[in-house]
Structure 1
Amino acid sequence: MSLTIMMKLSGRRELLIQTIISFFCRALAAIAALITSLVIGRQLGAEGAGLYFLAFSIVSFVSAFSRLGLDNTIVRFCGAALPERNWGIIRTTVYKAILISSLVSFSLAIVLYYSADLLAESLFQKSELGAVLKLISPGIVGLSVLTLISMALQGTRRIPASILIQTIVVNLVLAIGLYIYSVSSPESAALAYSITTVLTVIFGCYLFFSNLERGSQVVSWQALFKSCMPLWIVVIMQQTVQWSGQFIAGSFVSTEEVAQLAVAQRTALLVSFVLMAVNMVVAPRYAAMFKQAKMAELEDMAITSTRIMIFLSIPVVTIMVVIPDYIMGLFGEGFSGGASLLQILAVSQFVNVMTGSVAYLLTMSGHEKELRNTALISGPVAIVLGLVLTPIYGVTGAAIATAIAISTQNIMAMWLVNKRLGFNTMAIWKKTNC
């Protein structure tokens, strides 16, 4: 057997092992997120959970804004630098990203704290939301930094640690704390979330920086901003697609219906956890392959990963479409009415899976501006449809608006991958070498 063939087989074996590990860790992360939603739904009730989830969606959106698009920039720079062991590039990329994001997120957390009552009363017509927003506002800083650390771990191919920091630790610690102390108010849950994010940041910094070697090379501020600025717009628009339905619904429907939409949306994400698991493994490899001009291998990996994701997600989406009443009923009294919302959002997440890792393919290959252009369409689509459909069809209209926007975003990105990289990620019938 030639050396070239042996190297290819070794690389595929490593990829397979990493994918299995990532899948297992993502499954644990999905279970942790589900447990947290169950605990919050059952202990706070539909109304209390609605206030908490609405506040959480605001924090998630502001945190994404605070990261300035540096999430994927970290993965790209670290993923490209790792094969050549450019530790200085990796270290300075992460340092500078955390510094910038910390300053922005801290400033926005202060703004949210002091404007909480005004937002609650004037925008959402829910005065009781104000106290929840104040207590969860520190979570903006914690969520921003822990996300960047998770991306740094992903970029350096430490997949289990990345997933542990990003999802598992936060959700499990929060769920355990809420259960043990019998938390029954959204205000207490909000405070618990803020504390949990800070503890996770401390743990994440230890995991990443304690094993990081030193190097002489550094990444410039210019290179960092050149990559992250287009991605910042992408992140803002992606968050708009994800959360605008809940924001708009918060102004038009009851708190209980907001809770149904939030729980349905969080549950529907289980369909795409396979996509997230595979992306954790392939994203830094995409960056390295594109940098080394290995386009055939890049295409093979993209199509093969799409096959795997479609195959593994079919059972999950089928369950959600066939027995949505039972699944939503698990969260407690008042949630089963959101069964149709779960069906709508699960189908949109399946479209997300079927198109493959299109966002990462564009980002890791330096086509951030093309991805930005898709986001500039899908974000406004989500807002316009939400404002049109929600007053007419209530919370169902908000779910439909979100589903259409998600599908539009991924289909456009798939078209751009075909145009810029020369292959169709949905061509799962095509013969590959993987």
Structure 2
Amino acid sequence: MSYILNIKWAFILKVISSLIGFILTFLIGYMLSAEDAGRYFYMVSLIMTVGTIVRLGVDNLTLKTIPEIKNSIENKSIYISACVLLIVILTVLVIPFLYFLSIEKIECYILIISIIPFACVNFFSIYYQSIGDVKRGLLYSSVIPQLLTLLFFFLFYLLEVGENVVICYVLGYMFIFVFLIFKFPLKFVRVCFGDIKNIVERATPFMVVSIIGILNANYPIFIISNKLPIENAAYYAIALKLATINVFVLSAVNSVIAPKFSEYYNNNNIIELSKIAKNTTRIMVLLSVPIFLLIFIFSSEILEIFGSEYDNEITVYCLKILALSQVINVSTGASSYLLQMTGFGKEYAKLFTINTLLSAICSYFMSIYFGLIGVVISIGIGIVALNVFSFFMVKQKLKIWMI
């Protein structure tokens, strides 16, 4: 089946992306001080957060919409053009608020110039995935950006150019953005206000999930960076990077099957929908559990690779907790995507929002009383709770058992 072939390519590309990401994280942790590394991870989190906010949920809307209009080039061109224009408009509206962030002026300028390239590259990548071109989508969204960041990092390090190495991350996305503008398969056309309004209305359920999702992924860095010494951000970021190595399995599968979920559900093919959901969950478990065991057993030895300052008791415990929560995440399958692609986006958005808010509040207070380990415990509980509830929501709403 074609989706199995796409999963194979997605898996290969995710392995490559994870390898490059691991090398980049290692170099950041090894070659920079923990304080400078923490600053880098903090800025990357800011870029990802703002870049997701200005996309306003159109990523998941695209995964749902493009399969429905796949035979109309004109409709696809209008849709893509309206989404890009919406990203630009929202970026202009967001920029004034960025000056209120507690970052240096040069970092604020770097953040501003990164928004449109980051947002558009990720949006274009989602478009490729929605038409079944998973290889190209993943190349542009994960493999090439990390590879370019790695190359620029080496160049900056050799030339000893400044301390704001996050510019390496931004330059990578800027290069890809310029390339895609000229090589994108659809023509950008003039759109009217009604086209943008229609997208905003349809993207509302996805908007909540996308924005809360990126906040869910980055609020720990924001809390840690503001409540604890900045080096704790580096400890957490490296532990998280290691713990989520097995999540590339989930990400690879999701990038392939999300459009399939929408297609089968719209065609009322529930049997095939159930079959693909179960099969992909089993594939994910089979591939992720061995990785989890390796990380859990050899946590200290793996952290020592990044330098002696990362091989401490707290960071080891953080890695074990995060790894355990992530393997549970993978084991519940693509429950969140299945709910969003089958008309239950609002229900999932409510669940996701409540979970994120509770986890963020708990993490904030745990950081005050228990430091980094308290934040990580709150995060781990939140991840497990969200995925378990999503798993049973799929069973209740769709009568599909994911395993």
* Counterpart for residue 49 of structure 2: 61
Superposition map of 1:109-148 within 5 A: 109-112=95-98, 114-116=99-101, 119-120=102-103, 131-148=106-123
Q: Which deviations, in whole Å up to 9, do the C-alpha atoms of 1:96-147 show, x marking residues without a partner?
A: 11111122124424532x334xx24xxxxxxxx5543442332222211111
Give the SS at the match of 2:211.
helix
Give yes or no for the alignment of 1:411 onto 2:388: yes
| Partner amino acid, structure 2, of 1:285 | K
1:236 pairs with 197, 208, 211, which one? Answer: 211
Cα pair 2:156 2:165 within 8 Å, conserved: no
Give yes or no for the alignment of 1:268 onto 2:243: yes
Q: Distance in 2 between matches of 1:368 and 1:186?
A: 44
* Counterpart for residue 68 of structure 2: 80
2:172 pairs with 176, 196, 201, which one? Answer: 196
- In structure 2, the CA distance between the partners of 1:28 and 1:109, relative to structure 1 (3 Å rule), is farther
Residue 86 of structure 1: how far off its partner (Å)? 2.5
Cα pair 2:78 2:188 within 8 Å, conserved: no
Give yes or no for the alignment of 1:375 onto 2:375: no
Residue 350 of structure 1: how far off its partner (Å)? 1.1
* Counterpart for residue 17 of structure 1: 5
Cα pair 1:47 1:259 within 8 Å, conserved: yes
Residue 186 of structure 1: how far off its partner (Å)? 7.6
- In structure 2, the CA distance between the partners of 1:204 and 1:407, relative to structure 1 (3 Å rule), is farther
Q: Distance in 2 between matches of 1:220 and 1:291?
A: 23
Give yes or no for the alignment of 1:249 onto 2:224: yes
Higher mean alpha-carbon deviation, 341-350 vs 148-157, is at: 341-350
TM-score by length of 1: 0.86
Q: Which deviations, in whole Å up to 9, do the C-alpha atoms of 1:393-413 show, x marking residues without a partner?
A: 111111112222222222222
Higher mean alpha-carbon deviation, 351-360 vs 194-203, is at: 194-203
Q: Distance in 2 between matches of 1:341 and 1:204?
A: 39
Q: Distance in 1 between matches of 2:235 and 2:341?
A: 36
Give the SS at the match of 2:132.
coil
2:78 pairs with 78, 88, 92, which one? Answer: 92
Higher mean alpha-carbon deviation, 386-395 vs 410-419, is at: 410-419
- In structure 2, the CA distance between the partners of 1:222 and 1:135, relative to structure 1 (3 Å rule), is closer
| Partner amino acid, structure 2, of 1:28 | I
Structure 2 gap ranges (5+): none
Give the SS at the match of 2:307.
coil
Q: Distance in 1 between matches of 2:24 and 2:224?
A: 22
Give yes or no for the alignment of 1:51 onto 2:28: no
Residue 159 of structure 1: how far off its partner (Å)? 0.6
Cα pair 2:145 2:173 within 8 Å, conserved: yes
Aligned residue pairs, count:
396
| Partner amino acid, structure 2, of 1:98 | V
Residue 185 of structure 1: how far off its partner (Å)? 7.7
Q: Distance in 2 between matches of 1:276 and 1:206?
A: 28
Superposition map of 1:234-383 within 5 A: 234-337=209-312, 338-383=315-360
2:128 pairs with 153, 177, 194, which one? Answer: 153
Higher mean alpha-carbon deviation, 196-205 vs 101-110, is at: 101-110
Q: Distance in 2 between matches of 1:409 and 1:345?
A: 14
Residue 379 of structure 1: how far off its partner (Å)? 1.4
Structure 1 gap ranges (5+): 1-11, 121-128, 429-434
| Partner amino acid, structure 1, of 2:5 | I
* Counterpart for residue 180 of structure 1: 155
Give the SS at the match of 1:374.
helix
Give the SS at the match of 1:336.
coil
Q: Distance in 2 between matches of 1:360 and 1:237?
A: 15
1:105 pairs with 91, 94, 119, which one? Answer: 91
Give the SS at the match of 2:27.
helix
Residue 59 of structure 1: how far off its partner (Å)? 1.7
- In structure 2, the CA distance between the partners of 1:141 and 1:331, relative to structure 1 (3 Å rule), is farther
Q: Which deviations, in whole Å up to 9, do the C-alpha atoms of 1:187-208 show, x marking residues without a partner?
A: 4312222222111112233453
Q: Distance in 2 between matches of 1:329 and 1:105?
A: 41
Cα pair 1:52 1:186 within 8 Å, conserved: no
| Partner amino acid, structure 2, of 1:76 | K
Give yes or no for the alignment of 1:208 onto 2:193: no
Residue 284 of structure 1: how far off its partner (Å)? 0.9
- In structure 2, the CA distance between the partners of 1:171 and 1:281, relative to structure 1 (3 Å rule), is same
Q: Which deviations, in whole Å up to 9, do the C-alpha atoms of 1:51-88 show, x marking residues without a partner?
A: 11011112211211111011101111113333xx2223
Q: Which deviations, in whole Å up to 9, do the C-alpha atoms of 1:367-411 show, x marking residues without a partner?
A: 211111111211111211111211111111111122222222222
Residue 222 of structure 1: how far off its partner (Å)? 5.0
Cα pair 2:80 2:188 within 8 Å, conserved: no
Q: Distance in 2 between matches of 1:221 and 1:342?
A: 43
Residue 213 of structure 1: how far off its partner (Å)? 12
Residue 47 of structure 1: how far off its partner (Å)? 1.1
Residue 221 of structure 1: how far off its partner (Å)? 4.0
Cα pair 2:41 2:237 within 8 Å, conserved: yes
TM-score by length of 2: 0.92
